[in-house]
Chains A and B, each alone.
Chain A
């Protein structure tokens, strides 16, 4: 028995020290030296304050900003212990709706979002929640549909917003991978910088 257990505990124990502490701690040091911005969350600062991460979406409700996709993240409900309430873009607890294709709740939510956007053909990403609840991007079609509202709220000509949007529309990576998209936080930051 000892002959079987000794190698098991010795090897697993030493590998825990090596692969669980020494290597990842050394690797963390290397990552912090080589890629400090990415290793610490790709943070965006304005006037010395952290305003978010370039990779994480955040919630925008005001008419003068472009709006992100619907988000299914929640937070603990202070009024009802043990329950949660909607909290879009709560990055402390990533979540999707997990509603199935025949879910009545999902269909009702989709209809409500389509109606709120004025009906008609609504870009799919504008009426559905992302997998993470933190999707930083919207599709170019979704952004174009919001241009008139943002321009009116800011009292700016729509053409000016269009130029900005054009500059913030990213193509496929290497012209091939993924889909065209617009980073909402970066676009809104650029909007705020317009004077």
Chain B
């Protein structure tokens, strides 16, 4: 680790925070319908769908509208991927995807996971990327943010019968937040070197007389929304490690910022919606502290290098460079990795499979902690609010009082719903990974032997269930078993999580909001922040400890003993 490296990390995080403050205010304005510079487009969409944006929806109607929108998106994307062979904008003449792969990919992009069992430049036509995958990058992100706004409103007032209108939130977030940001960032990305062209490739004759096929395509715009929407699905196979997808350290720094800024801003938006900015800041502080700690852990592990390789004669100055790019260096690779896994983005600028065991343990743990540090756009905030309610519940148990969060009583029904949501992740991750680790059909996908093989499988189901999408890339994921079970894990992680959360919001919204009294546990101070971090660590982390001990931790000690597989 170097001081320069830490200065890079500090600069990027300072810029993200500076941008999150005004953005949080702006999103709050969108949530209340005060932004309307594309009102004609908005009205057209409402008219076509027969939508009355003023009509409030209870939690059931809101969730049902969300599910219907996502189902429509899935069907459209599945059809597009299966039929890409006969559709236009396919200059390479790529065939349609297999049913397994199309199912997996469509689920993956609709659930904001962007797990990729294919390689972009090898499998996807320009039309599939542009009109299929990139559209879902917008819509799945808008879905998450809309849900977070609905959940936030539940804490704002007494006796709420509705949580807003899903279609109004969904359309406004897309038009006024995601689209303008993606256009601006996309143009900056083109200037920095990302292609944006309708040509698929160009042939070059290299200096030594060989030929090189240089891939092109409508990349920059899709890459912009892939980070802003914490989607993470790369245009090119190796994601942001590709020189066209991460052309410079500045580009990778902007991507780190883009995949953090909306989740951070939403914490502040929450503070505005509930009318107490300090509440949002407390959540943000927990998120930020965890990003810094996780970055430090990855940076230390990777900058130290792989002891086996150092013993073989590699100079330790650059750290572990397998799977990493020279232009980024260890500091920005570590910060990128901590933010992409903490924020449920899943883009990568270095190959996690080749990280040292401890360097790879941190991103896997960040996903398993529930994708709330700061989590995906929207999903991070509502996940954090679930943990906040569990934290006040734990505090209430300690002093024997009915717990309250922001004046809303958290009672048996709420705690049951919160636990139902929180339990989805361990069931999906540990359940599927355990079955896959004894099934011969699944084990054939594992590339590395020894504990690292276990890590590859565990990471895959963590990534899918947490709707992250990054991978230990050695795993051969394009098989019927993995395509199907990973898709089920993604569906569980998204929808089996959020439906109980919406029920929770509905139940809380209807309750009276009692004013804070002398006995109220303040939820904006360091005591609460510490308690919240503790609940996330214990509830989210402890259940994965045995699996992590068999995977990355075992590999760490095996590595120190000098053993290879």
Chain A residues with CB under 8 Å of chain B are 3-16, 18-21, 23-24, 27-28, 30-32, 34-35, 38-43, 49-62, 65, 69, 89-104, 106-107, 110-111, 114, 119-125, 127-139, 141, 172-174, 176-179, 181, 185, 188-189, 192
Contacts and interface: CB of A to CB of B under 8 A. Distances in A.
B270 interface: no
A100 B76 contact: no
B326 A181 contact: yes
A98 B474 CA distance: 5
Interface stretch (B21-29, B215-223, B368-376): B215-223
A66 B198 CA distance: 34
A131 B324 contact: yes
B326 A137 contact: yes
B249 A178 contact: yes
A9 B249 CA distance: 41
A119 B131 contact: no
B158 interface: no
Given A21-B130, A185-B207, A28 B198 contact: yes
A185 B212 CA distance: 13
A7 B197 contact: no
A122 B212 contact: no
Contact of B238 (A23, A39, A132, A176): A132
A51 to B, nearest CB: 6
Contacts of B357: 101-102
Interface in B16-75: 41, 44-45, 48-51, 64-65, 68-69, 71-73
Interface string B221-233: 1100000000000
A130 B238 CA distance: 10
A177 B51 contact: no
B555 A101 contact: yes
A178 B138 CA distance: 30
A125 B318 contact: yes
A173 B214 contact: no
Given A41-B214, A172-B249, A124 B196 contact: no
Most chain A beta-carbon neighbours within 10 Å: one of B241, B250, B355: B241
B196 A99 contact: no
Contacts of A49: 205
Given A32-B196, A41-B197, A101 B248 contact: no
Most chain A beta-carbon neighbours within 10 Å: one of B197, B243, B448, B450: B243
B167 interface: yes
Contacts of B452: 100-103
Interface stretch (B187-195, B411-419, B460-468): B187-195
B247 interface: yes
Contact of B174 (A19, A51, A185): A19
A28 B170 CA distance: 25
A77 to B, nearest CB: 15
A41 B214 CA distance: 8
B314 A94 contact: no
Given A28-B198, A60-B208, A99 B474 contact: yes
Interface stretch (B392-400, B481-489, B519-527, B556-564): B556-564
B130 A24 contact: yes
Contact of B312 (A89, A107, A172, A177): A107
B134 A98 contact: no
Nearest to B328: A178
Contacts of A185: 207
Contacts of A133: 238
B341 to A, nearest CB: 16
Contacts of B216: 40-41
A92 to B, nearest CB: 4
A7 B50 contact: yes
A4 B325 CA distance: 48
A32 B360 CA distance: 40
Contacts of B249: 172-173, 177-179
A6 to B, nearest CB: 5
B183 A27 contact: yes
Contacts of A4: 64-65, 68
Contact of A52 (B204, B323, B328): B204
Contacts of A6: 49-50
A35 to B, nearest CB: 5
A149 B238 CA distance: 32
A13 B48 CA distance: 10
Interface stretch (B346-354, B382-390, B434-442): B346-354
A189 B208 CA distance: 11
Interface string B289-325: 0000000000000000110110011111111111111
B11 to A, nearest CB: 7
Contacts of B356: 101
B515 interface: no
B110 to A, nearest CB: 10
B68 A5 contact: yes
Given A21-B131, A102-B559, A177 B212 contact: no
Interface in B119-146: 119, 121-122, 130-132, 134-135, 138-139
A173 B242 CA distance: 18
Contacts of B50: 3, 6-7, 10
A86 to B, nearest CB: 14
A58 B179 contact: no
Contacts of B332: 177-178
Given A11-B45, A20-B132, A59-B206, A53 B214 contact: yes
B241 A96 contact: yes
B518 interface: no
For the complex of A and B, 3 pairs with smallest distance between CB atoms: A178-B249, A20-B131, A131-B241
11 contacts: A10-B49, A40-B199, A51-B204, A55-B244, A62-B208, A107-B312, A124-B320, A129-B322, A130-B321, A172-B4, A188-B207
Contacts of B222: 24
A72 to B, nearest CB: 9
Given A27-B196, A177-B250, A101 B355 contact: yes
Contacts of A98: 323, 351, 353-354, 447, 472-474
